[in-house]
A = this chain, B = another copy of it.
Amino acid sequence: MTEKDRPLRADAARNRARVLRVAYETFAEEGGGVPIDEIARRAGVGAGTIYRHFPTKESLFQAIVADRLRQVVERARDQAATDPGEGLYAFLFHLAEQGATDLGLTEAFAGTGFDLATSLPEAEREFTTLMADLLAQAQRAGTVRPDVDVDDVKTLIVGLQAMRRFRGEQADRVYPLIRAGLTRR
């Protein structure tokens, strides 16, 4: 659903890809607050070029968050197959790490000026399903206490990302505490 209709002209396709790549890096480093002009500058194109491909700054941001989510989901599914009991923890802490280097993703989860469920409903649904699977699997394996639910996991994600983002490596020390809290007594 990105390159239908008639094919883009060669230069247009090149620029589109370039913008996407640069925007990805830039949002990750600076968060959703970066000026479009900054992305344009880094990509070596004019602001007008960005607007030809993405009608709005918001839409560019969405495109990137959606892609990022896909990656995270895919990775988590792999991990989960490898070690059922650890899947949820790996997912949780991986997401926290991502939050450290990807401000865009953090904002998407926290809902800061960007509502995931509204903007990318399918991605949100897939994400929720993944969490439910990982959680059920971990509970079956006995590594997570049975009274924890999916909403609790979402809440923890928000908290963990905030810790990682604002407290850096200090957050590493807290992971074991969280894990202990989630484990059956």
Say if the beta carbon of A178 comes within 8 Å of chain B.
yes
User: Is A110's CB under 8 angstroms from B174's CB?
Assistant: no
User: Is B152's CB under 8 angstroms from A174's CB?
Assistant: yes
Residue of B nearest to A149 (CB): B173
Query: A residues engaging B (CB < 8 A)?
Result: 109-112, 148, 151-152, 154-156, 158-163, 166-167, 170-171, 173-174, 177-182, 185
| Interface SS of A by simple majority | helix
Instruction: Report how far A158 CA is from B165 CA in the complex, Å.
Output: 10
A-B contact pairs, 7 of them (CB 8 A): A110-B166, A111-B166, A159-B174, A162-B162, A162-B163, A178-B178, A179-B181
User: Is B148's CB under 8 angstroms from A177's CB?
Assistant: yes
